[in-house]
Structures are given as structure tokens and as C-alpha cells.
């Protein structure tokens, strides 16, 4: 991404599935290296993930999940999804950020900030917004704290690639 490239944030369509899948896999492989087992990261399949994304995007916002993409021209360089909070203790109006990922080559250039602003605006000022982050992902935790999220003391373990990984819930 060059300085003069114009980034557009818009709602994702089914046509974005392959681009989202590529960003998803590359971002996981970079961000979770040393956290998630290497064998799992190496096994991530863009084609299989694109099929899953196409299915999700085909359903559209009917399930109240919205996905945005950050694009330069027609190239997807990032994406973020938000929907109803899935935790047992969630309030009915609470929203949860399910994902926010960027192509590693665009990290540190303000694109994630714009995606996060979009998610926060969509949730509205009065809605509680939550997300889960791996406890060992310090870069992401720093990013979330900069946007007003704080850990609320709730943690859980999730199995990823054969490893039990600790996740921390953040709320805003």
C-alpha cells in the first residue's frame, strides 16, 4: 500500500469472499506465529476458507452479522465482522466484534483504525461492544486498549490447532 492509495471501507459482498479468505489466512499466519501451533497455521487453506466466507456472506445481514472490507481498488486488504454478542452474560443489545484482520503488509498504516471506527459507529454509543483476544497477542490487545476497550476479567480457553489457548474478553 502506497501513501497515495485510497482505502475504501464498505460492506462486504459474496464477491469479496476470496479476498477476505486470503487476508484471513495471511493475517493468522503472521499474527499468531509462535502462539498457534505452526502445523495448524501452515494447514490453513484459502480455498476452503473462501467457501466458508462465501456461505456467510450469502446469508448476509439476515443473521444480524455485518462484515466490512477495506479495499484499494478491487483488492481486499482487510475486513471486520460484528454481530450479536454470543456470551451467556451478554445483554440483548450487546454487540460482539467477531473478527478484525488486515493483510500483514498493511499493518501500522491506519486501516485497522478505520475499520474499528466503522464497527464502533455501527454499534452505536449506547451499545456495549465486546471482543475476545488471545492472551498472548499483545499487539492486538494494545490496539484494542487504544480504542477504549478494557479486559473485564472474563477468560476462557479455546482449542486451536490442538493447543488450548487462553482468551481474554475486552469490552467498551
Residues 66-117 pLDDT 10s: 999 999 999 999 999 999 999 999 998 899 999 999 999 999 999 999 999 9
Contact between 79 and 95 (Cβ < 8 Å): no
What structural domains and CATH numbers belong to the chain?
7-128 (3.40.630.30)
The model's confidence at residue 61, banded by pLDDT at 50, 70 and 90, is: low
Q: Tens digit of pLDDT for each residue in 116-149? A: 999 999 888 778 999 999 999 999 999 999 999 9
Q: How far is CA 64 from CA 22, 35, 45, 82, 83, in A?
A: 24, 31, 27, 8, 6
Q: What is the pTM of this model?
A: 0.92
Query: What backbone torsions phi and psi does residue 141 show, to the nearest 5 degrees?
Result: -60, -40
Reduced to 3 states (helix: H, G, I; strand: E, B; else coil), residue 78 is strand
Exposed, middle or buried: residue 132 (CB in 10 Å: 0-12, 13-18, 19+)? middle
- Burial grade of 12 (CB within 10 A; 0-12, 13-18, 19 or more): buried
C-alpha cell read off for 141: 490487545
Amino acid at each position: 500500500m502506497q501513501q497515495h492509495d485510497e482505502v475504501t471501507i464498505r460492506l462486504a459482498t459474496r464477491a469479496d469472499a476470496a479476498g477476505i479468505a486470503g487476508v484471513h489466512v495471511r493475517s493468522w499466519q503472521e499474527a499468531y506465529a509462535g502462539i498457534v501451533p505452526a502445523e495448524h497455521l501452515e494447514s490453513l487453506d484459502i480455498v476452503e476458507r473462501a467457501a466458508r466466507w462465501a456461505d456467510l456472506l450469502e446469508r448476509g445481514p439476515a443473521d444480524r452479522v455485518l462484515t466490512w472490507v477495506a479495499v484499494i481498488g478491487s483488492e481486499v486488504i482487510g475486513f471486520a465482522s460484528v454481530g450479536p454478542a454470543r456470551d451467556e452474560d451478554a445483554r440483548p443489545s450487546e454487540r460482539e466484534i467477531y473478527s478484525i484482520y488486515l493483510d500483514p503488509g498493511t499493518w501500522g498504516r491506519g486501516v485497522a483504525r478505520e475499520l474499528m471506527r466503522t464497527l464502533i459507529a455501527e454499534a452505536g454509543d449506547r451499545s456495549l461492544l465486546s471482543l475476545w483476544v488471545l492472551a498472548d497477542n499483545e499487539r492486538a490487545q494494545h490496539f484494542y486498549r487504544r480504542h477504549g476497550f478494557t479486559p473485564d476479567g472474563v477468560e476462557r480457553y479455546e482449542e486451536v490447532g490442538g493447543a488450548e489457548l487462553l482468551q481474554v474478553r475486552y469490552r467498551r
